[in-house]
Amino acid sequence: MSAIRLSFETFPPKHETGRGKYLEMLNTFQKYSPMFQSMTYGAGASDRSRSERLVSKSAQCIGATQFVPHLAGGGQDEERIKELVSNWWDDGIRHIVALRGDDAGEGETKCAADLVNVIREVNDFEISVAGYPETHPKSASQEAELQHLKRKVEAGASKVLTQFFFDADVFLRYRDKCDAFGLDVKVVPGILPISTLAQVQRFAKQCAATVPDFIIDRFSGLEDQPEATAAIAVITVVELIERLNREGVKDFHLYTLSNVPCTLAICHSLGIYPEQKLAA
């Protein structure tokens, strides 16, 4: 059995008609005994509403303690958030990923630390928050970013899920800085498989992450070769996880992009097999 443990992050379907396929995906992933499965939170009001309607069904599908909804504070006032997470607690959910989300308006939750405080007022959830190994694009410096992270931890966050990166040393330096900053919290690396080079460069620009030259070299020239791209994406992720595992990292948060074949290939390459195979 692999000593590596994964959690999976998925996108909710864009339309209600995709709900059945989404739940089927969760069931498939659950066979690989993840630490948990999280679902991202829509940016617009209609997307948020669709995500929220799916939370209860997803919790029923894989077990409420295994399903972890994201919650973005921007765009919502405190009373709305309290009502929502209270309902989640009643559904059996015990873990939330708390994010700032969109910029807050008047009367809305202004930052992730405030959101953690609001959730804590409702009940004793486990709360994960975001961390940025290469600094959030709106932070003045990495020290300012670590100060903000410290406020989230002091408010009650117990786990940090990092933004994606491709150089193992980027994460290892960040982990050391969190430790030196006195952050007594588990820092879990966020791992992103590459679907296309153009997509990952777009994602990286949005969050100020670096795409190293070796990644560009690996994927350049494969724009019309999706099967080759998928194969190299798996190899790249497995190399990164195994390198970090040799440095003592055991837990990883996989940004699946709801890509089932790629996710399963990564699991099997790491020696993580479905329950039926282990039982056999």
Active site residue 9: yes
For 4, 193, 225, the CA distances from 270, given in Å and listed in that order, are: 8, 14, 24
What domain range includes position 76?
5-279
Q: Exposure pattern of 64-73 as b/e (b: 16+ CB <10 Å)?
A: bebbbbbbbb
Q: How many structural domains compose the chain?
A: 1
Q: How far is CA 88 from the centre of its chain?
A: 19
Task: Choose the weakest-confidence range: 26-35, 43-52, 126-135, 204-213.
Answer: 43-52
Structural tokens at position 168: 């193992």
CB neighbour list of residue 120: distance below 8 Å, 6 or more residues apart: 127, 155, 156
The rounded mean pLDDT for the chain is: 91
CATH number at residue 265: 3.20.20.220
Question: Which of the residues 9, 108, 134, 145 is marked catalytic?
Answer: 9
Tens digit of each residue's pLDDT (9 = 90 or more) over 164-219: 999 999 999 999 999 999 999 999 999 999 999 999 999 999 988 999 999 999 99
3-class DSSP assignment, residue 230: helix
pLDDT of residue 108: 44
Closest CA to 57 of 35, 26, 79, 32: 26
pLDDT of residue 42: 63
Tens digit of each residue's pLDDT (9 = 90 or more) over 154-163: 999 999 999 9
Nearest-angstrom CA–CA distance, 41 and 113: 18
Nearest-angstrom CA–CA distance, 102 and 159: 22
For residue 137, pLDDT beyond 80: no
